[in-house]
Amino acid sequence: MRKLKIATWNVRLMLPIDTFIGKSWLFSRLWKVVKRIKKENPDIICLQEILGPIQLFSLWLLLHKQYEFNSHFCTLKIFNGKTTLVNKSTTLTLMGSNQYILKNTNNKEPKFIVKRSAIETVNLSKEYKLFQIVNTHLDHRGDDDAKYRQAEELIERYKNEEVPIFICGDFNAGYKLFPNYCPMIKDVKTSKIDWWGKKENPNNLIDWIICNKNLEFNNSYTIEDRSASDHFYLTTTVTLK
């Protein structure tokens, strides 16, 4: 059986809370993020909101013996905020990876995060079964129209692929952005109050793992660790046919 443990996590690696409590990012939350990843030991994990090369390098120092990092820079100076880790102890074979920048939307992201909508595609095989992992973070400003346009662009890009495609990450919206994709697991962003004291809707489901094939999945769960991030860690185990 070709079983695959996939996870996604918006790790928010520089929250205002880090400054409020007088601790640096490096010592307040980095270790908790790393500890969670090591404990869960997923085959593949998609991370979002790694806000720069320093954070990425810090994670690499602590995890590179266990995971192979797939990261892309939009320019020599701008990191796209996402990285996909592939566990070295699995039977996965990395076939390559690439980056694609989704078009800017009318929501006009600030220049310093204009590349938030970049996606990373990692091509892999497990026991000669090919599949793709797509790591994304869709627009979060304004109405859902922007997200629908970006989702349509993603669908158009992958519509002719015959292999299983798993789209993982922070959609800032529900999975219905992607018709004909199967929701595998969903995440409540925050259950009560976020870092800024704003009350959150417990039905605000924005982090997802979805697939273009109706595959068997089980042992799906989320983990809330607000000392590490204001998003839940979410994971599922898939059986590749």
Q: Which residues pair with 166 in a beta bridge?
A: 133, 211
- How many folded domains does the chain comprise? 1
At residue 174, the pLDDT reads: 73
Q: Are the C-beta atoms of 197 and 184 separated by less than 8 Å?
A: no
Q: β-strand 165-170 against 129-137: which pairing, if any?
A: parallel
Cα-based distances in Å from 43 to 23, 87, 117, 174, 237: 31, 5, 24, 25, 9
Least confident of 53-62, 80-89, 101-110, 139-148: 101-110
Percent of the chain at pLDDT above 90? 12
The confidence score (pLDDT) of residue 109 equals 52
Does the structure show a pLDDT above 70 at 98? yes
**What's residue 24's pLDDT?**
52
pLDDT of 196 over the 70 cut: no
What was the pLDDT predicted at 184? Answer: 65
Rounded to whole angstroms, the Cα distance separating 29 from 122 reads 27
Q: Which pLDDT belongs to residue 123?
A: 84
What is the CA 11 to chain-centroid distance, rounded? 9
Q: Side by side, which strands form the sheet with 129-137?
A: 92-101, 118-126, 129-137, 165-170, 205-211, 182-188
Cα(168)–Cα(154) distance, rounded to whole angstroms? 12
Task: Output the CA–CA distances (angstroms, integers) from residue 198 to 109, 139, 190, 193, in the order listed.
Answer: 22, 20, 10, 6
State the DSSP code for 42. -
The string of pLDDT tens digits covering residues 108-156 is: 555 544 455 567 788 888 877 889 999 988 876 656 677 788 888 888 8
State which residues form the domain around 204.
2-240
Average pLDDT score over residue span 32-47: 93
Averaged pLDDT for residues 234-239? 89
Q: Which residue has the higher pLDDT, 206 or 14?
A: 206
DSSP 8-class letter at 91: S
R_g (Cα) of the chain, nearest Å: 17
Q: Considering the entire predicted model, what is its pTM?
A: 0.84
Backbone angles phi, psi at 240, to 5 degrees: -80, 130
* Amino acid 54: pLDDT: 74
Cα separation, 166 vs 76, whole angstroms: 28
Q: What CATH number should be reported for the domain holding residue 134?
A: 3.60.10.10
What's the average model confidence in pLDDT over 193-211?
Answer: 57
- The answer on pLDDT for 77 being more than 70 is no
If we measure between CA atoms, which residue out of 149, 157, 115 comes closest to residue 132? 157
Please report the pLDDT score of residue 186 as a whole number.
47
**Residue 160 predicted with pLDDT over 60:** yes
Say what the pLDDT of residue 40 is: 95
Q: What is the mean pLDDT of the chain?
A: 75
pLDDT band at 105 (very low <50, low <70, confident <90, very high): low
Q: How far is CA 122 from CA 83, 109, 204, in A?
A: 10, 26, 28
